[in-house]
């Protein structure tokens, strides 16, 4: 296959020897199978902003740190340089997330290099060495649905403990990789990943991610639909009680404290008295 123009810099740098074929075209990138010496890997070529169906949103970019102050100001103003810097930041976010999550033990593709908007990373394969299928392409038994659901909920917990929320997790962003006789879900597509502590929308995104998994696996095992892992996980995270190997129940009970009506009235009365006293003081000072 002819070398795509965007992959040419990797060939010139000696990182890629040849391109075997296009693997897929997603909403934010084109994926190619490439040969690197004796290894077969994949190259993710990010599409330009005007070609993506997934648009950047402040909901996703909120809380992302930019070390260069000039760059940060330009991104905020939306200048030509700022738009370019913002695009580069969007692309590099996936690389940062992959390294961060791999170090935390989350099963994600291993990244190797990132040059000029092209991410060179592990090609996830099935037991036969073929490109692994996406979760949505596989019909599951109820037993498999429970197994993969448990695995992915545990991965969501590991991600959150590492300070990351996927933000777009669903059956379309999970590959079923094979190692021997074991099939393992592998989480992919992380350019929109958010910082759990720095993004005000992280909680709602995590709830949506877990809900997507619940609804998908619930098609094969309806009892999964009765679980509330998202709310349980976020509640534990907020209270500082979440850790990677925690045993979850899938249940969540909101404890509503009774409202102290008398207490509220006392606070209001005190505020009114303070304001009346301030008004009286101002009048006395004005008469002097």
Please identify every residue annotated as catalytic. Answer: 168, 189
Cα distances (Å, whole numbers) of residue 137 to 140, 216, 238: 10, 12, 35
């Amino acid at each position: 296959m002819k070398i795509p123009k965007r992959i040419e810099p990797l060939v010139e740098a000696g990182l890629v020897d040849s391109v075997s074929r296009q693997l897929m075209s997603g909403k934010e990138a084109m994926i190619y199978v490439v040969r690197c010496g004796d290894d077969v890997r994949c190259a993710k070529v990010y599409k330009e902003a005007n070609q993506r169906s997934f648009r950047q949103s402040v909901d996703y970019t909120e809380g992302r740190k930019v070390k260069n102050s000039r760059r940060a100001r330009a991104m905020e103003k939306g200048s030509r340089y700022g738009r370019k810097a913002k695009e580069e930041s969007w692309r590099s976010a996936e690389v940062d997330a992959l390294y961060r999550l791999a170090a935390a033990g989350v099963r994600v593709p291993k990244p190797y290099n990132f040059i000029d908007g092209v991410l060179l990373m592990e090609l996830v394969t099935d037991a036969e060495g073929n490109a692994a299928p996406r979760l949505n392409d596989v019909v599951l038994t109820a037993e498999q649905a429970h197994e993969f659901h448990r695995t992915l909920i545990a991965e969501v917990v590991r991600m959150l403990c590492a300070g990351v929320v996927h933000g777009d997790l669903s059956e379309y962003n999970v590959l079923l990789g094979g190692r021997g006789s074991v099939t393992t879900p592998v989480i992919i597509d992380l350019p929109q990943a958010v910082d759990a502590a720095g993004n005000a929308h992280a909680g709602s995104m995590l709830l949506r991610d877990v809900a997507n998994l619940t609804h998908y696996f619930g098609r094969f095992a309806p009892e999964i639909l009765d679980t509330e892992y998202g709310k349980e996980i976020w509640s534990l995270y907020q209270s500082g009680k979440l850790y990677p190997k925690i045993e979850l129940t899938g249940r969540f009970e909101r404890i509503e404290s009774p409202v102290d009506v008398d207490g509220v009235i006392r606070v209001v009365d005190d505020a009114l008295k303070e304001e009346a006293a301030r008004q009286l003081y101002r009048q006395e000072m004005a008469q002097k």
